[in-house]
């Protein structure tokens, strides 16, 4: 988006380099406002678009959580970052197969893009839903079943680089008109993050996400207060570590992360350990590799069931999609599932001990 690039250049020229997280937030807002990111004709394909079974199994997992809660007459189903509505449409189809579950659902979607809200409404058809700018306005008067698939990775990331024995915030400046990463002022990482890591080396980068951790804190408090469950599916390491994971994808290919903000999907790895810690007092289970979780939830069986009533071409596509979601080291291992439940809860379906 030339206008965004020009505006950011003017801000940097007038006020100096921008914090990386501010640059990323501006780029993400502009990018998702267009509503053209998803699918084979967009920049990237998410798991729900690879196979309908993905969203169905997410719906089944939430249905089992609803049953475990005693089948409450009203439950708030909330998806954060619903994309084009593919996952929630598949979720609701699975929900209708569980007696009483669909009737209990009050649907809430956290989405800031007007274009994507329109796509979601089209995918939902006659199913009523309420849209929100953030989790903060989702009601708190009933159990919550929250799903966040590839939501946290797009939230702004803060990077610090080790220079001369000091941590310096990474900022975005200009060099011959191009956006470049530059060292900013001395900034200390969160003490608990450093405590979990070996001594840093010169030039190493550390990342954390204040916005994602704030989201997890709110979510953890909600689960403790109103009950329910949350399922977070995203990509990143199970344990905290050093490294620059910022990446951009445009037309299904990697692109320079700082080039042409607002025209590519700009993301970074999710630190699942910090998300789980921020969500306390909620109990965390996982993260489990996505492939293992899908296999435990029955992706093979459901795929075979669908294939038995499909054309040969459709059956081949179903098998290919299931394999892509489960194979390592790509989506099956790099992508992970993290469950959050109220304090003291037992391990949910698809997960081991916390």
Asked if the structure places residue 220 within a domain, the reply is yes
Structure tokens at 239: 């344990």
Complete DSSP assignment for 65-110: HHHHTT--S-EEEEEES-TTSHHHHHHHHHHTTSTTHHHHEEEEEE
- The CATH number given to whatever domain includes residue 73 is 3.40.50.150
Task: Indicate whether 115 belongs to any domain.
Answer: yes
Q: What is the DSSP letter of 38?
A: B
Q: Tell me the C-alpha distance between 266 and 258, whole Å.
A: 9
Sign of the alpha-carbon torsion through 327, 331, 336, 337: negative
pLDDT (tens digit, 9 = 90+) per residue, 253-306? 889 999 989 888 899 999 999 999 999 999 999 999 999 999 999 999 999 999
Cα 163 to its chain centre, rounded Å, is 31
Give the global pTM.
0.94
- Spatial contact of 45 and 182, defined as CB atoms under 8 Å apart: no
What pLDDT, on the 0 to 100 scale, is given for residue 196? 83
Determine if the peptide bond prior to 329 is cis (ω within 30°).
Answer: yes
* Count: domains in the chain: 1
Q: Report residues of the chain scoring pLDDT below 70.
A: 1-2, 35-44, 329-330, 332, 353-354
Rounded Cα distance, 269 and 258, in Å:
16
Does residue 326 belong to any structural domain of this protein?
yes
C-alpha to C-alpha distance for 171 and 99, rounded to whole angstroms: 53
Residue 179 φ/ψ, nearest 5 degrees = -75, 130
Domain for residue 24, yes or no?
A: no
Residue 9 within any structural domain of the chain: no
Can you give the residue range of the structural domain that contains 131? 35-156+209-236+271-341
Helices and strands, number each (H, E), in the chain = 13, 15
In a domain, residue 92? The reply is: yes
User: What count of other Cβ atoms lies within 10 Å of the Cβ of residue 268?
Assistant: 26
pLDDT (0 to 100) of residue 145? 98
Q: pLDDT tens-digit profile of 196-213?
A: 899 999 999 999 999 999
Q: Which tokens belong to 291? A: 């492939």
137 found inside a domain: yes
CB 59, CB 95: distance < 8 Å? yes
Does residue 40 fall inside a structural domain?
Answer: yes
**Amino acid 352: pLDDT:** 73
Say what the pLDDT of residue 1 is. 47
């Amino acid at each position: 988006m030339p206008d965004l690039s020009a505006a950011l250049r003017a801000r940097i020229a007038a006020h100096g380099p921008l914090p990386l997280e501010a640059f990323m937030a501006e780029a993400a807002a502009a990018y998702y406002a267009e509503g053209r990111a998803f699918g084979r004709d967009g920049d990237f394909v998410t798991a729900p678009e690879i196979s309908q079974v993905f969203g169905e199994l997410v719906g089944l997992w939430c249905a089992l959580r609803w049953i475990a809660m005693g089948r409450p007459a009203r439950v708030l189903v909330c998806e954060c970052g619903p994309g084009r509505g593919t996952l929630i449409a598949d979720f609701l189809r699975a929900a209708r197969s569980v007696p009483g579950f669909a009737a209990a659902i009050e649907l809430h979607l956290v989405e800031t893009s007007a274009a994507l809200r329109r796509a979601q409404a089209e995918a939902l058809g006659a199913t009523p839903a309420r849209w929100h700018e953030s989790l903060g306005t989702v009601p708190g008067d009933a159990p919550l079943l929250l799903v966040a698939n590839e939501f946290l990775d797009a939230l702004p990331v803060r990077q610090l680089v080790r220079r001369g024995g000091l941590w310096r915030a990474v900022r975005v400046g200009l060099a011959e008109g191009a956006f470049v990463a530059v060292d900013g002022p001395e900034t200390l990482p969160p003490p608990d993050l450093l405590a979990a890591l070996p001594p840093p080396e010169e030039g190493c980068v550390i990342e954390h996400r204040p916005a994602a951790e704030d989201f997890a804190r709110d979510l953890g408090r909600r689960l403790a207060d109103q009950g329910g469950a949350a399922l977070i599916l995203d990509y990143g390491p199970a344990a905290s570590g050093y490294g620059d994971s910022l990446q951009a994808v445009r037309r299904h290919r990697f692109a320079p992360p700082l080039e042409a903000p607002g025209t590519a999907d700009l993301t970074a790895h999710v630190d699942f350990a910090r998300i789980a810690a921020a969500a306390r007092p909620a109990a965390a289970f996982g993260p489990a590799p996505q492939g293992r979780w899908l296999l435990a939830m029955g992706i093979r069986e459901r795929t075979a069931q669908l294939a038995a009533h499909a054309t040969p071409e459709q059956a081949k596509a179903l098998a290919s999609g299931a394999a892509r979601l489960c194979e390592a080291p790509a989506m099956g291992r790099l992508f992970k599932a993290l469950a959050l439940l109220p304090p003291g809860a037992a391990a949910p379906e698809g997960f081991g001990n916390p």
